[in-house]
Amino acid sequence: MKIAFIHQNFPGQYKHLAAALAADPSNQVAFISRRADRDIPGVRRLTYGTRRTAGPPTHPYLLSTENAVLHGQEVARVLLSLRKEGSVPDIVVGHPGWGETLFVKDVLPQVPYLSYCEFYYGAQDRDFGFDPVYPPDLDARLSLRMRNTPLLLALESCDRGIAPTEWQRATHPEPFRSKIATIHDGVDTAGLRPDPAARVTLPDGRVLTPGDPVVTYAARNLEPYRGFPNFLRAVPRILDARPDATILIVGGDETSYGAGPPEGGTWREAMLREVPADPARVVFLGHLPYDRFLAAIGVSRVHVYLTYPFVLSWSMLEVMALGRVVVGSDTAPVREVIRHGENGLLADFFSPEAIADRVIDVLADPGAFAPLGRAARRTVIDRYARPDCLARQTRLIHDMAGR
């Protein structure tokens, strides 16, 4: 079988799926992307570049749409080259978020197209306008509708779709949901397991182990979308109640979603002006290599995961697979996975006091809450284990390709 993947940030969500398909000698796997600095054994990488980006005099509402067209046009050229050399794929698997898949069915009308339905923007019950501290204006609302253009066209043209969670599937327009299967990308539950030998050495030389009262927070970047301001506001209450506790914060200072602070600088700088923190007790670790991230979580007694109603982070499921007790925000993406008091704890996203009190409870009596960590791991094994997810994804691809 010939499979063509499309994702501008190679390999994106397809890292394990592409590798698994390429490991089968009966398959030929190609990957179309803008990135040229990564490879997967057995995968042929086809790199494209855009010749320009949208700008004046394009209408501001159409900037993302024009950029999507430019990406789609370049990918169409790559698909045409594959067709010319006689390498027409049996199926195309792609992420529509940047417009790359816009013209797949125009270039290859007979080839099945499986779309990655990660998130569909909307003005209700999602990230838009969720935080009253940052109310959107009418321009933002109108621009948001146009931002869905490549996503809506992908829903119309694709043969099937995959969404990683039921909530993310439900963000898509109801008439198209019957096309979309809910299959997560998968978590390495065999490799991620509680490690009593985990160790973290802090910059001052202290060594933390799994028995220590450690609280962890992690996000790709420290920003409101992942609740960083509310978490830091909870920290003084935690430290007052537990003078022996150490807070480890993992994440960078860039902006993944939303905007930076109105006054400029980073959200870490802005929040430390509001909530000064003792660097001996609140340790910012920045971006960490994956093994060091796992070590940090491995010594944690309780982990805090907060998010707007938005794409669920892989990190929360990884933390659960490690058997940690998670205090999560009481928001829809988290509620799909965490059942309060059964496999984790939920707290009001907007209440630093409630977040802190959940953390304090776990620190005070870790034995009483240990069953939640074990149940968290069982949840991930039962619902998100990578071999099971890959098997379901592969079966769908084979079915679509008529194999």
Give per-residue pLDDT as tens, 181-200. Answer: 999 999 999 999 999 999 99
**What backbone phi and psi angles, to 5 degrees, belong to 377?**
-65, -40
Question: pLDDT value at position 40?
Answer: 97
pLDDT at 235 over 80: yes
Question: pLDDT value at position 88?
Answer: 97
Question: pLDDT value at position 169?
Answer: 98
Start-to-end CA distance of the chain, whole Å, equals 8
pLDDT at 270 over 90: yes
Cβ partners under 8 Å of residue 342, min gap 6: 372, 375
Residue 129 CB-density burial (10 A; 0-12 exposed, 13-18 middle, 19+ buried): middle
What's the mean pLDDT when you consider all of the chain?
97
Cβ partners under 8 Å of residue 189, min gap 6: 321, 377, 380, 381, 384, 385, 386
Give the rounded percent of residues in the chain with a pLDDT score beyond 70. Answer: 100
pLDDT at 403 over 90: no
Please name the fold of domain 200-384.
Answer: Rossmann fold (3.40.50)
* Banded pLDDT at 36 (limits 50, 70, 90): very high
* Banded pLDDT at 60 (limits 50, 70, 90): very high
Question: pLDDT value at position 340?
Answer: 98
Question: 6 has which bridge partners?
Answer: 32, 94
Angle, alpha carbons 19-21-26 (nearest 5°): 130
Give per-residue pLDDT as tens, 77-122. Answer: 999 999 999 999 999 999 999 999 999 999 999 999 999 999 999 9
pLDDT at 245 over 90: yes
180, 283 Cβ separation under 8 angstroms: no
pLDDT at 313 over 90: yes
Give per-residue pLDDT as tens, 206-226. Answer: 999 999 999 999 999 999 999
Residue 302 CB-density burial (10 A; 0-12 exposed, 13-18 middle, 19+ buried): buried
Question: pLDDT value at position 400?
Answer: 98
Question: pLDDT value at position 191?
Answer: 96
Burial 225-259, CB ≥16 within 10 A → b, else e:
bbbbbbbbbbbbbbbeebeebbbbbbbbbebebee
Would you say the CATH fold of 200-384 matches that of 2-186+386-400? yes
Average pLDDT over residues 57-64: 95
* Banded pLDDT at 157 (limits 50, 70, 90): very high
- pTM for the complete prediction? 0.96
C-alpha distances out from residue 193 to 42, 126, 213, 308, Å:
29, 32, 19, 27
Question: pLDDT value at position 113?
Answer: 98
What radius of gyration do the chain's Cα atoms show?
Answer: 22
pLDDT at 297 over 90: yes
247, 200 Cβ separation under 8 angstroms: no
* Banded pLDDT at 314 (limits 50, 70, 90): very high
Question: pLDDT value at position 163?
Answer: 98
Question: pLDDT value at position 83?
Answer: 96
Domain covering 2-186+386-400 assigned CATH 3.40.50.2000 in the classification: yes
Which residue shows structure tokens 């003078």?
243
SS3 349: coil
Amino acid letter for position 262: P
Give me the torsion for CA of 106, 107, 109, 114, rounded to 10°.
-90
Question: pLDDT value at position 100?
Answer: 98
Question: pLDDT value at position 102?
Answer: 98
Closest to 113 (Cα-Cα) out of 144, 142, 72: 72
pLDDT at 334 over 90: yes
Amino acid letter for position 19: A
Question: pLDDT value at position 161?
Answer: 98
* Banded pLDDT at 309 (limits 50, 70, 90): very high
Domain boundaries defined on the chain: 2-186+386-400, 200-384
Question: pLDDT value at position 269?
Answer: 97
